Structures are given as C-alpha cells and as structure tokens.
Structure 1
Amino acid sequence: MVSSQINKIQPVPYLDEIYHVPQAQEYCRGNFSYWDNRITTLPGLYLISVGVITPLSSWLSKNLCETHHLRLTNVVLSLSNFVLYVWLIKKIHQDSGKHGTWKGIASALNVALFPPLFFFSFLYYTDVAASFLVFLMYGLHMYGKNALAAVAGIAAVVVRQTSIVWVILVAVGCFDLSLQKLLLTAKDRKFHILSSWHQVQVVLKKFFNLAPAPQKIQLVGKLILELFPYILVGLIFAAFVVINNGLVVGDRDAHQATIHVPQLFYLFALVTLFAAPHWISLVLPFSKACLKNWYVILVAVGLVGLIVRYNTLVHPYLLADNRHYTFYIWKRVFEYQPWGRYVIIPLYLFGSFATYRTMSTSKSFIFALAFIVCCFVALVPQRLLEIRYFFIPFLFVRLHIRPRSWMALFFEFSMYIAINAATIYLFITRPFYWADSPLTQRFMW
C-alpha cells in the first residue's frame, strides 16, 4: 500500500534516483558499457534488478524496467530482510521454547521496521540491497557456511564498496570462533571469559603453551584455511582499489576521504535513540560505572569535548539541502545553539557503553572491539553527516540485543510505527518548491 501510494505521488525518479534509475534502464537495454560518472557505487543493485526484471519483461512481453518496478526490487528485499532477521536472531541468541521464538520473531519485525531503512525500501537506493547481502553473509557465517558467506560478501561489495568493512568484521568473527573451538574448553566458556579482556589472555596463554612447535603451525594452518574465503574477497577488493585508483567509482570531488571522528559519536547517539526501549535498563549500570570511575569519565568528557570542538566538520551538502532531516537537526541543535553539541556528550558516552556491552555480552570481547574499529573505519573518513551511513552498524547492534521484554518490544514497535507513519506522511503530503527549480521537493531521511 505504501509503495503504491509513493509511486502514485512521485512516479518519476527523485533525488539520487535520477542517477540510479537511468543507469539500471541502460542495463535493461543490454548497454553494459554505459556508466554515469556521477554514481559513486558499483553496479550491484542494477544487476540484481536487471536479473529479475529482464526475464519477467520477456515473459510478459512488457517493459517492466521503469521506476515503479525498479523500486519494487527494494520492497522485495525489505520483506526478505524480515525473514533473514528471524533466522539471524534465532542463531545469535539461541532462544528455545515458545516465548523465546515469538519474542525473536517480534524483535525481527521491529528491526525490519527500523524507520530510516524502512523509508528507503520504497525508493531505488542501494541501502536495502547492501543491508540484505551483508546480513546474509553474517548469517551464513554464523551457520558455518563461510565459503557461501564470502560469496555474499563479494555481492555486498559490488552493491556498495564500503561493505568490505563488514566482510572484515565477519572474518574477525570467523577467526574468533575458530580460536574458541581450537583453544578454549567448555569450562572456559562456562565462566563467561568471552566478554572481557580475560579472553585474550587465556587464548594467548593456551597458544604459547602449545608444544611442540608443529602444533602451533598446525593451528595457524587451520585458521588460514577457515579464513581463506574472506582472504580471497580481500585480495579481489585490493585489486579493484588499485585498478580503480581509489575506493569511489564516480563524483570523487564530493566524496574525498577525511578524518571526522564525531561521526562515531553520531552513531552512538542514533543507536541510543532507536534502541532506547531496550537500553533503559542499562542507565543504572552506566551511572554506577560513572560514579565508580569518575576520573576516567572526566577525562573522556574532556577528550570528546575537544574532538567536538576541533574536529566537527560540515559538508556543503548538509547546509544546502533542506530536503533531509539532518539539515534541520544540524540547524536546530548544532548550529543555532552551539552549546547543543556539548550538552549531548553524555548521550555519546552512554551509547558507546551500551554498544560495547551489548556486543561483548552476546558475542565476545574480540568481536566487540573489532566492531567498534570497523565502525570507526567505515564512518570517520566521511565528511557528510548522512543517516544512511549508520544503517548497517545500527542493525548489527540491534540484532545482538536479546529480546527479553515484551513491554520493550511493544514500545519499540509503537515508536517505529509512529516515526514511519510521520515520515511517509510528510513525504507524501508536504511537497514544497525551491525558488530556482520547478521540480517538486519532498522531506526525507
């Protein structure tokens, strides 16, 4: 219903769709040599659409390669994401019994309704396809299918180059699980050493205590064999970067790498806001940790304050484009009231605390640390404050939040439905116009 209504009021490509839709249509015509240099990502999304639409067009004797049906690629993938999340949550949390299963399904539904990504399900952008392939890769890895996971990883990179960061994260997860299987006993796992620095100490001790040397060589050989599919993906990606002379395919002037550390803070704030129903219970542990380690918190607040003061960067696109919500957040919070960017430092600290605690509790210390590093690598080089950059990091955190409380799931569902209804309502019913353009403009994430 939502897809139909959006296509009714906005039948022509909107915003970045003006690049994606014509490119996909050229591929539908069989013109694979054409490329629009304003497009920054690889052609994975177009290949997925063409692979489905071309046979259907031939079968129905009708050209289906137009805006509406191209957008349906993401609608179908969005529905597929829900099924994928059910599969993942079941494996991550290992819940058994009737209540655990139904809470997992309800949690997966909420994740599928995550407002910013849900909104882009109805437009022809790369985000839904990239998210689907990244978490398909993660799921295949979790179920021990690392060769297939690496294939999904290549597909994710072909949709969006930055997906290579999440391939690396999954490779670290594979490495971590392999070490646990080869070195840690059931007794080690029983005492919850995986969620602390103690894990590294135990692993290193057991590795160096291996004797004779051939056992160490054998262990390293097994690890390389387990990681080989991901190593192969890394080599292919490295070759692409060398041949392409960089990561970005087109529009390089507007997408130059920089150092913008506050991007990581924005991620922690976003995750906290959207995971709030589940993280209310962490406020007390966070407060106790602050009181116990007040001197560390003071140093952290001072360091974050200095980073915010001297490393907050503003992309010209953010200031010029009043169609995006980030434009208004920046104007009302960060620019209109300069002190506003400092007031929310506690939110950044709480978000980092809750993120690390969630990831280390459900996975391990090594995986949690790798996740933070991967978020840093994926976000900090970006100058532009763009909600879409945070989708995959948020989904990783949210999928690892154990669905314990029906009340939290209900509040989360209600919050997501309300936000989705508001954003779609604004997009459909509140068009506006720029003085120098006859085109209809609409509010969006």
Structure 2
Amino acid sequence: MKVNSRGDSQGHYNGSYQTLVLTFSFIFGLANLENRPNLRTSNLRFQLGAKQISDPNSRFDRERDISAGCQADLKTRTLGSIEREMGRLSIAVVVLLWSLPISILFNYIVPDAYMDEIFHLPQAQKYCNGDFRSWDPMITTLPGLYYLSLAYVGFIYPVMWFAGIASSYGELCTTLILRSMNCALAVICSLLFYCILRHMRPGVDERRATLCTLVVTLYPIHWFFTFLYYTDVASTAAVLAMYLASLKGSYWFSAVFGALAILVRQTNVVWLFFVASTGAISYAESLYEKDNIQYGDCTLSIERYTKFIVRGKSTGLKLRKRKVGGSMNTTTISPTGTYTPSSTSSSSCYGLLCEFWGISMKLWSFKWEVLVAYAPFLVLFAAFGTFVVWNGSLVVGAKEAHTASFHLVQLPYFGLVSAAAMAPVHFNLGQAVILYRAFQKDKFYYLVLGSLALAAGFLSVHFFSIAHPYLLADNRHYTFYIWRKVIHAHWLMKYLLVPLYVYSWFSIFNILGKSRKTIWVLLYFFSCAAVLVPAPLIEFRYYNIPFFFLVLHSPIDDSWKWFIMGIQFVIVNIFTIMMFLFRPFHWEHEQGTQRFLW
C-alpha cells in the first residue's frame, strides 16, 4: 500500500512522531537527572543551621554564614550545570560537523544501496509505505531498525511536508534520508556516552569528559558505519540508553530500551543480562550501604548477621565474626559499583571467592527487593526465550549461513583489536612494568594463570579457528586481507600471535580491575564470550558494544593518551573512507562497483 496524499499520511506520521519525541525526551531526561540539586543535603544543612541559631547573641552571624554558604552552593551547582550543558552542546555540534559533510559526500559518490543495504533499505521502504507483512528472508535481525526509521522519518516529515518537498510519508524513505538517521543516532550515542561517563566518574572535569567522548565517537568501526544503513549505530545507542537508565535506577525504562536493543539485534540480550546482573549487584550493595556493611574481609557485624539469618530464614551459612587476616582486601562500595582496594591480597583466588560469597549473601538477603526492581528484565528474558523456541533459532533469516558455532578464537581477536585501538593505554612501557610487578607480587598465581591462558590460546587457534566461506571469498572486507596476509601469512603465524593475545587480555583485566570488582570483570568477559564465540564469521562490527563498555570502565586519566588515540582513529578513518570512496574495483563474475569496508 502506498500513501499518496497528505491526509492519508497524517495518521501514519503522528504515531511515529510521538514515539520519537517520547524516546528523545526520556534520553535527555536521563541526562538531566544529574543536574537536580540534592534536596536532602540542602534541607539537612538548613536544619543544622536552625539548631545552631538558638543563641540570640550569634544568630545574626550564623544566619549570614548560612546564607553565604547556600548562595555559594547554589552558584557552584549552577556553574556545574552550565558546564555540563555546554559539554553536551559542544559534543553534539562537533559530531554533527564531521558527520554531515562526510555523509553528503558519501551519498554523492555512493548513492545506491551497497552490501547489506540491499536488504535493509528495501525492507525499510516497505514499512514506510505501510507494508508490514512482506519480509526479506535474507535479513537476520528483527525489525527494530525499521521501526526507528519510521520514527525518524516521522520526526522530519512536518518540515518536509510544510516545505513541499514531500507530499507523503513514503516519499521521504530514500537512501539519503534513511542513511542520515545514523548521523542522528551517532550524536545520541556520543551524548549517552558522555552522560554515562559523568555519572560513573563525577570527579572527571568537563573538558576531559568531552575529550574522551569525542575520541570514542571516532572509533573507526563505529565511525565508518555511521554512513551506511546498518544496525550497528542503532544497536549501540539502544544498549547505551539501557545502561544509563539502569545506572540512574530507572529499571522499567532500562528494560524498554533493552527491548529496543533486542529488536535491533538479537545478541543484545547478552548485554541486557550484563546490565541486569551488574545493576542487581549494585542495587543490593546500595541497600547494604544504609547499614554501613563492609564485606570485602568476609565479615559481617553480629547484629547484621542476626538480621540476615532472620531475613534468610536460616540458610545454614556460618559467617566469621572477625577478620580472617590482615592481608585481605577491604572494599569501599559505591552505588555505581566502583571500589577501591585498601591493600593487596595475598591470595587472589581466595579474594575472588570471598567477593563472590559476600555478593551472594547480599543478593539473597535482599532477594525480594531485587526481584521486584528487576522484574521487567525477567519479563524480557522470558519473552525472548519464548521467541527463540518458537523461531527455532536466534536469527530470523538466512539461518543456514548464520548457525551458532564454537568460535573460541573470537575472544583473542577481540582482545587484540581492542587493545590495539587503545594502544597508548595498553602498549606502553609503563603498562608492561605494572603487569610485571603484579607478576612479581604473586609469582605462583600468575604463573599458573599465564600458563592456562597460553594453553587456552594455543588450543583456540588450533582447534577452534573457523574459516567462514564469506571470509575466504569476499575480498571487500579488511578481515579478508588480515586473515590471508597476517594470520595465515605462515603456518606458524597464528601461534606466534598467541602471546600477544594473552598480553592484551591481561592488560585489559588489569585496567578494568583498577575501578571494577572482580565479579564485574568476569561478567564482562563472559558477556563478550557469549556474544562473540557463537559467531562463525569474523566481523569487527560485533566488537563495537564490548569496546564501548571497555572504554567506559577504563580509568584513563592521562589526556595525552586520549589525544594520541584520537589521532590514531583519525588516521585510520581517513584511510578507510578514502579507500571506500575513491578506490573502487570490479569483479569479473559480477556486475557493479565493489568497495573496501570493514
């Protein structure tokens, strides 16, 4: 059905327009939650001040001090709010300044659908014309991208209709317009990243937070697919929105964005689980914080232990009432899940068991509160499980070419690619010295761990390295050349790379361990494995979301490292866009122009 009149398209437009307005409003509402003043602190300050004004001889001086303090506090909050708004505005403007001109050039040189766009663009245009029954069997993902496209086109439709550019809704669903949606989503991604960074690390100044955000938006794989009608940018935006909502305690809205993320790409159910798990742990810890409980030394107070037994109806757990030893880690818990170890552990394995034990007790003690808060996530998991059983597979179409596999070497690939992208952080003398000192402190532990990691690496590259037919036959992707010219340049090469893989992951664990608990790091690692290992095809696009999580939780305080990373990303981006636009080639067995891409 094709809409041909303004009147017929009005109803179609209204629903999409309202959906996009509500979505954008909530995203910016989440961002602005941090600007609200702390009313509890302000009221407490006034109450304390009122108690102190009982002495009439000093009442005037104290009133003046209180007034001056309140004015200074209000001025500080106002300036901080202005700085945050200016930071967001500058980020949005900069991202638009580089994305719009390149998008125009991109569409001028490549006006027609390319690669996977030949499936996505016609499907989105069918949705724009009201045809929701037709489906291309080659599309593997759910229609979340096309629903977002409907909302985006509905958002710009009034301007186009008023200007007389388009008389119907369907006329706007051109290749240019649909591709431009990713430019808008790239801006949203940058704002979400900035808000998450400011929420988790409020001590970071605005300039550094802005620099970090702008550098990450230039991450080559994310940057390149901003200009094609693919699912990657939309998927990243939905996952970041889900994470930000969870961090701010808006669990229902977080689940809504989680549902959207799954509709865009099914594997995002793993990141839904990751966000729900880490959020549930932080939520239980925040409940315990009210009672000033500290679990890092495997101890609880006698009073709290009694309460725990009463709440848990006697679980048979025997908790120590005093410290096991002075060498254990004591942990200061924050609502965001960060921690600061006060001393190095003499037994890393025992420390991990202790941490897991403490978290388990907390979750069990507040199991009903956690279940109620995270009920929407449980509903989503049940719905997704039902879909997989009904569909018979995780993917929607082309099931034969996208069967799940045990591609274990994907994890080493991701570790090396991510560490290389953050080369100033991971591949420098200072980081190598830090890892060496960690080895010297607990030689036996790291010797065993390193041996196991090397053994796992050699086994994975030898037995669990899959050469997908698409990888071997499609010379348009850079992975084709990396596979042939690097990994398989010599039969020994894939084994020689194993120590580099192991170093990359050890460095990643070390960086994450500076700001995250061990449980969090393990959840991140297994989430990466759940997303990447079943994928038989090496696609660097699959690394985007885990890379964003990695950067968000890597405490990089050196601005020069960010600056060098930015230069590194710009060089790679210039190379890839020049190769794509200005170095086309042709196949003898197939008509059309071919281009290089990730």
Q: Please, what TM-score do these two structures have when normalized by structure 1?
A: 0.93
Distance 1:39 1:282 in 2: 43
Match of 2:218 among 91, 103, 113: 113
Letter in 2 for 1:17: E
1:179–1:203 Cα contact (<8 Å) kept: no
Task: Report the AA paired with residue 33 of structure 1.
Answer: R
Residue of structure 2 in register with 1:429 after alignment? 582
Counterpart of 1:161 in 2: which secondary structure? coil
2:181 counterpart residue number: 73
Tell me, yes or no, if the aligned pair for 1:174 and 1:226 is still in contact at 8 Å: no
Q: CA deviation at 1:320?
A: 0.5
Contact 1:165 1:377 survives alignment (8 Å): yes
Cα separation, 1, equivalents of 2:120 and 2:224: 17
Letter in 2 for 1:384: L
Q: Is the contact between residue 423 and residue 444 of structure 1 (CA under 8 Å) also seen in structure 2?
A: yes
Cα deviation, residue 282, structure 1: 2.2
Worse-matched range after superposition: 145-154 or 178-187: 178-187
Between 350-359 and 146-155, the greater mean CA deviation after superposition: 350-359
Contact 1:111–1:399 (CA under 8 A) maintained in structure 2: no
Contact kept? 1:93, 1:362, Cα under 8 Å? no
In structure 1, the residue matched to 2:507 is 354
| Distance of aligned partners of 1:192 and 1:276 in 2 relative to their CA distance in 1, 3 Å threshold | farther
- 2:596 corresponds in structure 1 to 443
State the match for 1:213 in structure 2: none
Match of 1:416 in 2: 569
- Could you tell me which amino acid in structure 1 is paired with residue 280 of structure 2? F
How far apart, CA to CA, are the structure 1 residues paired with 2:530 and 2:371?
A: 24
CA contact (8 A) 1:90 1:104 kept: yes
Correspondence 1:255-270 to 2 at 5 A = 255-270=402-417
Deviations 1:273-294 (A, max 9, x none): 0011122342212233456333
1:6 maps to amino acid: F
Please identify, of 335-344 and 138-147, the stretch whose mean Cα deviation from structure 2 is larger.
335-344
List alignment gaps of at least 5 residues for structure 2: 1-100, 297-328, 333-338, 342-347
Q: Is the 8 A contact 1:358 1:397 kept in 2?
A: no
User: What is the aligned partner in structure 2 of residue 298 from structure 1?
Assistant: 451
Please, which of 85, 109, 113 is the counterpart of residue 13 of structure 1?
113
Give how far 1:257 is off: 0.6
Residue 138 (structure 1) aligned with residue 285 (structure 2): no
Residue 275 of structure 1 aligns with which residue?
A: 422
RMSD: 2.1
Kept in 2: contact 1:133–1:155 (CA 8 A): yes
Q: What is the percentage of aligned positions where both structures have the same residue?
A: 33
What is the Cα deviation at residue 226 of structure 1? 2.1
Q: Is the 8 A contact 1:41 1:249 kept in 2?
A: yes
Aligned residue identity for 1:366: I
> Aligned-pair distance for 1:207?
6.8
How far has the Cα of 1:401 moved from its partner?
1.6
Shift in Å, 1:203: 6.4
Aligned residues: 436
Partner amino acid for 1:392?
A: I
Residues 1:288 and 2:437 aligned together: yes
Distance 2:178 2:546 in 1: 26
Letter in 1 for 2:369: K
1:38 paired with 2:138, answer yes
Letter in 1 for 2:403: Q
What letter is aligned with 2:330?
Answer: F
Are the structure 2 counterparts of residues 224 and 442 from structure 1 closer, same or farther at C-alpha, using a change threshold of 3 Å?
A: same
- State how far apart, in whole Å, the 1-side matches of 2:358 and 2:484 are: 53
Flag the structure with larger Rg.
2
The structure with more helix, counted as a fraction of residues: 1
Aligned counterparts of 1:51 and 1:69: Cα–Cα separation in 2: 12
The CA deviation string for residues 10-52 of structure 1, in whole angstroms up to 9 with x for no partner, is 0000000000000000001000111001000011111111122
- Residue 236 of structure 1 corresponds to 383
Q: Residue 186 of structure 1: CA displacement?
A: 6.5
Moved more, 358-367 or 33-42: 358-367
1:329 paired to 2:482: yes
Displacement of 1:202 after TM fit? 5.3
CA contact 2:120–2:139 (8 Å) conserved in 1: yes
- CA–CA separation in structure 1 for the residues paired with 2:407 and 2:351: 32
Contact 1:183 1:203 in 2 (8 A): no
